[in-house]
Homo-oligomer: A and B are copies of this chain.
Amino acid sequence: MNFNPITIRDIAKALGISVSTVSKALRDSYEISDKTKKLVNDYAEQNNYRPNPIAQSLKKGHSKSIGIVVSTIENQFFSQVINGIESVAYQAGFNVIITQTHESYEMELKNVEQLTHHALDGLLISLSTETKDVSHLKHLHQQGLPIVFFDRITNEIETHKVIADNFKGGYDATRQLLNAGYKKIAHITSPPNISITSERFAGYEHALKEVGMDIPSAYIKHCAHGGRDMSEIENALNELLSLKDKPDAIFTTSDRITTTTLYLLTKMGIKIPDDIALVGYTNTTLADVLNPPLTSVYQPAFEMGRKAAEMLLSLILSKHPVTEFETITLPTQLFVRRSTLPKKAL
């Protein structure tokens, strides 16, 4: 199948003028007479002429498009981030190419590989849970590809980064449970190698230490793929529930882990918060109508996307090499709902 749009050369031929004149006329150059401009523009319009962006990209050395790598767009957190990115990119006339890793390191490699090298002006990335080695990105970064990290970042690469205040998110969630009278707080989270895990864990730990409590290591459960597979969470839950000293509350990180935990507990017939309280990270708009309404840590996802995109565009558009980088930390919000009802109220 082909698709043969008209080119600048067709216009030149049809009008009996040169291609350079046509090109300049279309770009409204001061060198071209109004008469010629009108002639060219009218013809272009009538024949539905559109410049071929590929040729423009090749010539200009940039593609006006940026790549995004996230684990999965089905996660509302990421779709909201993408909306934020898009809102900025669109304004600036940039295209956005989205790829998903589904939490696989291999997919991350492939996607980055596929996206990069001149077809992209910059990259926005949140690492997969499997990612431990970032040399694929280091390489590109050294070659000069502008990269901005968001959410799951690495400190092996010096560039702009945008994160939520993960420490505070973890702290607030845990503190809320403690204030509500829960004392045995388990934590189901992503693998320790990704940044958000350790930051949130630090907040959790700090809240517990603050009230002089220990963290029994049996209460910490890592899901290798951030809850991608339900079995990960099922196992964690089964282990927690078969402990002699069962937890009376759970703090979950990530949308997927949170909602799946809610689902599984419900299915097991465990009452929330009566049997076990639950607080989790989630950006779903449905937190209020869940059963029970879910106490949750909300991240400013849209804003994170906006900021990340703005920083990336500033790198792309900068005339000089950028050597000063910053890491923006956005506040999280704790929404208290029934899933962490104070113990005495039960």
- The answer to whether B52 and A118 touch across the interface, beta carbons within 8 angstroms, is yes
User: Are A58 and B55 closer than 8 Å at their CB atoms?
Assistant: yes
Kindly specify which of A92-100, A166-174, A201-209, A242-250 makes contact with the partner chain.
Answer: A92-100
Give the distance in Å from the alpha carbon of A292 to the alpha carbon of B292 in the complex. 10
- Quick one: copies of this chain in the complex? 2
A254 in contact (CB, < 8 A): no
Q: Complex formed: what's the CA distance from A97 to B146 in Å?
A: 20
| 19 more CB-based (< 8 A) A-B contacts, given A86-B99, A98-B98 | A1-B315, A3-B143, A3-B145, A4-B143, A5-B117, A50-B116, A50-B117, A52-B58, A53-B117, A54-B118, A73-B83, A95-B114, A96-B99, A97-B98, A263-B289, A266-B288, A290-B290, A291-B291, A291-B293
Does A48 make an interface contact (CB < 8 A)?
Answer: yes
Q: How far is the CA of A251 from the CA of B17 in the complex (A)?
A: 63
In the complex, residue of chain B having the shortest beta-carbon distance to the beta carbon of A116: B50
Q: Determine if B86 and A1 form an interchain contact, defined as CB atoms under 8 angstroms apart.
A: no
Taking a contact as CB atoms under 8 Å apart, the answer to whether B57 and A86 are in contact is: no
Min CB gap A223→B, angstroms = 16
A51 contact set on B, CB distance < 8 A: 117
A119 at the interface (CB under 8 A from B): yes
On chain B, the residues within 8 Å of A21 by CB distance are none
Stretch at the interface among A149-157, A185-193, A210-218, A316-324: A316-324
Q: Mark A209-241, 1 if CB is under 8 A from B, else 0.
A: 000000000000000000000000000000000
Decide yes or no whether A41 CB sits under 8 A from chain B: no
A48-B139 in contact (CB<8A): yes
Q: What is A's interface to B at a CB cutoff of 8 Å?
A: 1-5, 48, 50-55, 57-58, 61, 63, 65, 72-74, 76, 79-80, 82-83, 86, 95-100, 114-119, 139, 143-146, 259, 262-263, 266-267, 284-286, 288-293, 315-316, 318, 321-322
- Give chain B nearest CB distance to A199 CB in angstroms: 25
Q: Does B2 lie within 8 Å of A61, measured CB to CB?
A: yes
**Of listed A72, A79, A292, residue having the most chain B CB within 10 A:** A79
